[in-house]
């Protein structure tokens, strides 16, 4: 072919086939039990009384980055189960006044578990970082699929709305407002089911309480959040998350959001916008679906659909088998391609090339730091205030191990021994330590945030 012209490809040309971003299925097969039988024989056995720590995990691949945390795929060395591990640099959290949010997220995640949430399995720390090890969901987030121009059908969006309704109903039973429901925070598993993640700005409100802080991502925030910030008043409650579900559903179906809102918009202008602009629905959408979206995108929270009971009464969801859905027995309409890793490949390059404190070099770095700290006079500390904050985090951070917790619960639920063996069963057992009360270092690093 002439210079600059693409070469014609015939159907038999192997190079004509689109190559996946990452040979994910081959990689998983390589990591499977059958292919690592030799490694299985050398599988480490950790002392059950030992707290879980960084050495218990093998770092496999970087897959994401948030505002102050990064995410990688890890494998637990003893069980060989794979998870996602989020890690947050302590010094950066202090400098950005995010310590309180991290501690609140941990407090929430340690107390909840649901089929449509991204659940916490372990939390631990070292001198540099705080770690959260959570469910690994390989289907990517909905923002990624929107950017890949996936066309979501009404039935697919209906499933996501129902799964989020079950998740939000559970969170309400635990007195939790998520405050950041959006496509970026909804992850798909390999079958295509939706899971809500990122409780970084979630808050707990008891009966009768109201939240007042301006918190969330502006295009998905309910009108009453802005109104409360500008005009004061009674604050807001669980209804704000259901508004966000309405915005998300509209965006998945149409490709853009119902209101043209950006992070740069002034809060005062947004209060005005909700009272003057009406949402435009596509004429091709079913009337039942539009009716539900209208109820979710109702500006007045008192008239908004904001409970599982409201959703179950909607004509669009009349035929939903809720019991089967809650057990993931309803087949999703959109199944992510299993042949690729659904994330931006630059995360891996950034970790390898640009990161000043790469995770895979942590062990050597910490050993070097400990040696240097041991030889340095404590009076020569460069920043006593920073060190006080780091010491407070070290002291107040709560270590969590759901695997160990589940084992304890299983043992507790076992039937009591027969009377003749009861005496033997009364031998003292090692009791779990009481969890340390969560107290963020507000006195040392006060936070301006509030619920």
Does residue 285 or residue 363 have the better pLDDT?
A: 285
The CATH number, out of the four listed (3.30.200.20, 3.30.70.2860, 3.40.50.1370, 2.40.30.170), of the domain defined by the range 44-136+343-373+381-451: 3.30.200.20
Give residue 116's pLDDT band: very low, low, confident or very high (50, 70, 90). very high
What residue ranges in 51-109 does DSSP mark as E strands?
A: 57-65, 69-76, 82-89
Q: How much is the average pLDDT of 298-316?
A: 96
Neighbours of 351 (CB within 10 A): 19
Output the pLDDT for position 11. Answer: 39
* Global pTM value: 0.77
Separation CA 348–CA 351 (nearest Å)? 5
DSSP per-residue string spanning 166-199: HHHHHHHHTTEE----SGGGEEE-TT--EEE---
CB 244 within 8 A of CB 165: no
Separation CA 322–CA 317 (nearest Å)? 10
- 426: pLDDT strictly greater than 70: no
Angle between helices 99-109 and 384-396 (to 10 degrees): 0
- 317: pLDDT strictly greater than 70: yes
- The whole-chain average pLDDT of the chain stands at 81
Q: In degrees, to the nearest 5, what angle opens at C-alpha 142 toward C-alphas 81 and 204?
A: 75
Of 37-46, 297-306, 310-319, 387-396, the poorest mean pLDDT is in 37-46
Residue-range domain boundaries for the chain: 44-136+343-373+381-451, 142-326
- 432: pLDDT strictly greater than 90: no
Q: Which two tokens stand for residue 239?
A: 């209804």
Q: How much is the average pLDDT of 433-441?
A: 38
- 129: pLDDT strictly greater than 60: yes
Output the pLDDT for position 291. Answer: 97
Separation CA 117–CA 202 (nearest Å)? 13
Q: How much is the average pLDDT of 224-236?
A: 89
Does residue 110 or residue 11 have the better pLDDT?
A: 110
Output the pLDDT for position 68. Answer: 62
Output the pLDDT for position 450. Answer: 46
Q: How much is the average pLDDT of 296-318?
A: 96
Long-range contacts, 146-155 (Cβ 8 Å, 24+): 146/183, 146/251, 146/252, 146/255, 150/334, 152/252, 152/253, 152/334, 153/333, 153/334, 154/253, 154/285, 154/286, 154/289, 155/333
DSSP designation for 441: -
- 431: pLDDT strictly greater than 80: no
Give residue 435's pLDDT band: very low, low, confident or very high (50, 70, 90). very low
Q: For residue range 348-381, what is the model confidence (pLDDT) as tens digits?
A: 545 444 455 666 666 676 776 666 665 555 444 5
Separation CA 24–CA 204 (nearest Å)? 38
Q: Which two tokens stand for residue 33?
A: 């039990």
Of 129, 141, 180, 241, which is the active-site residue?
A: 180
Helix/strand/coil (H/E/C) assignment for every residue in 355-388: CCCCHHHHHHHHHHHHHHHHHCCHHHCCCHHHHH
Q: Catalytic: 180? A: yes
- 256: pLDDT strictly greater than 80: yes
Q: 142-326: what CATH class?
A: mainly alpha
Helix, strand, coil percentages, rounded to 5, for the chain: 45, 10, 45
Output the pLDDT for position 424. Answer: 41
Output the pLDDT for position 365. Answer: 66
- 284: pLDDT strictly greater than 80: yes
Q: Which two tokens stand for residue 199?
A: 């409780």
- 389: pLDDT strictly greater than 60: yes
- 267: pLDDT strictly greater than 90: yes
Nearest residue to 84 (alpha-carbon basis) of 71, 68, 99 = 71
Q: For residue range 47-93, what is the model confidence (pLDDT) as tens digits?
A: 667 889 999 999 988 887 765 678 899 999 999 999 999 999 999 89
Q: In degrees, to the nearest 5, what angle opens at C-alpha 197 toward C-alphas 196 and 201?
A: 115
- 297: pLDDT strictly greater than 70: yes
Output the pLDDT for position 315. Answer: 97
3-state class (DSSP) for residue 147: helix
Q: How much is the average pLDDT of 379-395?
A: 79
Q: Is 310 exposed, middle or buried (0-12, 13-18, 19+ CB in 10 A)?
A: middle
Q: Is 95 exposed, middle or buried (0-12, 13-18, 19+ CB in 10 A)?
A: middle
Separation CA 36–CA 413 (nearest Å)? 35
208: left (phi > 0), else alpha (psi -120 to 50), else beta?
A: left
Q: Which two tokens stand for residue 322?
A: 């809720």
Q: For residue range 132-187, what is the model confidence (pLDDT) as tens digits?
A: 999 999 899 999 999 999 999 999 999 999 999 999 999 999 999 999 999 999 99
Q: How much is the average pLDDT of 194-206?
A: 94
């Amino acid at each position: 072919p002439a210079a600059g012209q693409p070469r014609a490809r015939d159907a038999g040309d192997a190079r004509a086939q689109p190559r996946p971003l990452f040979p994910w299925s081959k990689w998983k097969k390589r990591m499977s039990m059958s292919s690592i039988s030799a490694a299985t024989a050398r599988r480490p056995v950790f002392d059950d009384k030992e707290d879980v720590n960084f050495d218990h995990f093998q770092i496999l691949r970087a897959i994401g980055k948030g505002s102050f945390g990064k995410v990688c795929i890890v494998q637990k060395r003893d069980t060989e189960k794979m998870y996602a591990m989020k890690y947050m640099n302590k010094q950066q959290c202090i400098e950005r006044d995010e310590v309180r949010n991290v501690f609140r997220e941990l407090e929430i995640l340690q107390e909840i578990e649901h089929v449509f949430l991204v659940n916490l399995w372990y939390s631990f720390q070292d001198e540099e970082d705080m770690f959260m090890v959570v469910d690994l969901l390989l289907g990517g987030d909905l923002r990624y699929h929107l950017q890949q121009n996936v066309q979501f059908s009404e039935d697919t969006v209906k499933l996501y709305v129902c799964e989020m309704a079950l998740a939000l109903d559970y969170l309400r039973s635990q007195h939790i407002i998520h405050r950041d429901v959006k496509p970026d925070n909804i992850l798909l598993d390999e079958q295509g089911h939706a899971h809500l993640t990122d409780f970084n700005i979630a808050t707990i409100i008891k009966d009768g309480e109201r939240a007042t802080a301006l918190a969330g991502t502006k295009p998905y925030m309910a009108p009453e959040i802005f109104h409360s910030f500008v005009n004061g008043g009674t604050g807001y409650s669980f209804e704000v998350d259901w508004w966000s579900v309405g915005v998300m559903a509209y965006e998945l179906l149409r490709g853009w959001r119902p209101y043209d809102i950006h992070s740069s918009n002034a809060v005062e202008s947004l209060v005005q916008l909700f009272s003057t602009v009406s949402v435009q629905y596509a004429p091709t959408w079913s009337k039942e679906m539009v009716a539900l979206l209208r109820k979710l995108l109702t500006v007045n929270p008192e008239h908004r659909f904001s409970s599982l009971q409201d959703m179950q009464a909607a004509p669009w969801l009349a035929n939903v088998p809720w019991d089967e859905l809650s057990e993931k027995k309803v087949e999703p309409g959109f199944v992510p391609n299993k042949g690729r890793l659904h994330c931006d490949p630059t995360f891996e390059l950034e970790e390898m090339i640009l990161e000043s404190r790469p995770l895979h070099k942590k062990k050597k770095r910490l050993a070097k730091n400990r040696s240097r700290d041991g030889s340095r006079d404590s009076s020569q500390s460069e920043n006593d205030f920073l060190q006080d904050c780091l010491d407070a985090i070290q002291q107040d951070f709560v270590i969590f191990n759901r695997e160990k917790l589940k084992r304890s619960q299983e043992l507790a639920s076992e039937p009591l021994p027969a009377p003749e063996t009861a005496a033997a069963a009364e031998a003292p057992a090692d009791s779990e330590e009481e969890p340390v009360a969560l107290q963020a270092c507000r006195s040392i690093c006060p936070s301006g945030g509030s619920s």
